[in-house]
Structure 1
Amino acid sequence: MSTTLFPSIQPQIEETPTELELYKEVKWDFEKNIPVYQNGSPVIVTGKEAVFVWAWKALTTPRYRYEIYTWDFGCEIESLIGQVFTDELKQSEATRYVQECLLINPYITGVLDVNVTFSDEIIKISCTIETIYGEVDINV
């Protein structure tokens, strides 16, 4: 029998499931790049459509540029424009940037089939996002 002056007391940790609330976002007009309003109030979308809006805005917002956003929000992909990397390295880095950008959202569980094309100063991104509501295809 060992005796010690400092007893080891481990409190019982109660595990509570952390269920995410229904995701809500302001509906977005992607062609005009503005929020959608109806009768003077923003239109709210939920679920898969809301996650899609968030993902689109995150991918089209340069990370670290705007003080209104946290440093976790946005994508660093535009830093690859003009770099003299090989195409394979650019693709690899672009895929990593897209995944890092999107997987910060707890409603997004995976990013599949990332395809990024560079032409002059235009970047096109397409991928499939796995959300807790199902899969969403996105083209930016």
Structure 2
Amino acid sequence: MTQLFPMYSLPQENAGAALPLYTDVAMDYDRGEPRWESGNPVVVTGLEAVKSWAWRTIATERYRWPIYTWSYGCELLTLVGQPYLAETKRSEASRYVREALLVSPYITEVTVREVSFEGSTLHLTVEFTSVYGKERFYV
């Protein structure tokens, strides 16, 4: 295979290696915070854990927080104040969400079904396919 930029090597995927069971903190999506029980965070695995990660990834501004790598988060806030047409903003929002979520090796496909504005508030319906199955959530 010929590479467009031969001075940079692409990471080699190890197709035979299985991913470990994904574990994460459960989210209360309505309140936008982790769920707690008896003073401890609720832990989930599998598809619900990947959904929790995906939701937080979109809610986290990329490049803003030094604790996160530059590959984590979403660039949706860069659309604020831009003089783009509404269709361009919807298209860019979809692209930003896809790029943010496909960073995860557990997510194989992302589709943004609905993108709308209510005043200055952006609403998204996001569907993704993970190694555990399909899920949908709203942002």
TM bucket, shorter chain:
0.7 to 0.9
Verify: 1:65 aligned to 2:64, yes or no: yes
With normalisation by structure 1, the TM-score equals 0.81
The CA distance in 2 between the partners of 1:136 and 1:100, in whole Å, is: 17
Mean Cα deviation higher: 54-63 or 87-96: 87-96
Verify: 1:133 aligned to 2:132, yes or no: yes
Count of residues paired in the alignment: 126
The CA distance in 1 between the partners of 2:102 and 2:19, in whole Å, is: 15
State the match for 2:50 in structure 1: 51
1:119: how far off?
A: 3.4
State the match for 1:10 in structure 2: none
Identity fraction in percent = 42
1:16: how far off?
A: 7.0
SS at 1:137 equivalent = strand
**Runs of at least 5 residues in structure 1 that lack an aligned partner in the other structure:** 1-14
SS at 1:138 equivalent = strand
**Runs of at least 5 residues in structure 2 that lack an aligned partner in the other structure:** 1-13
Q: Answer yes or no: is the 8 Å Cα contact 2:112–2:124 preserved in 1.
A: no
Runs of 4+ displaced beyond 6 Å: none
The CA distance in 2 between the partners of 1:16 and 1:50, in whole Å, is: 22
With normalisation by structure 2, the TM-score equals 0.82
State the match for 1:3 in structure 2: none
The CA distance in 2 between the partners of 1:50 and 1:87, in whole Å, is: 33
The CA distance in 2 between the partners of 1:87 and 1:37, in whole Å, is: 39
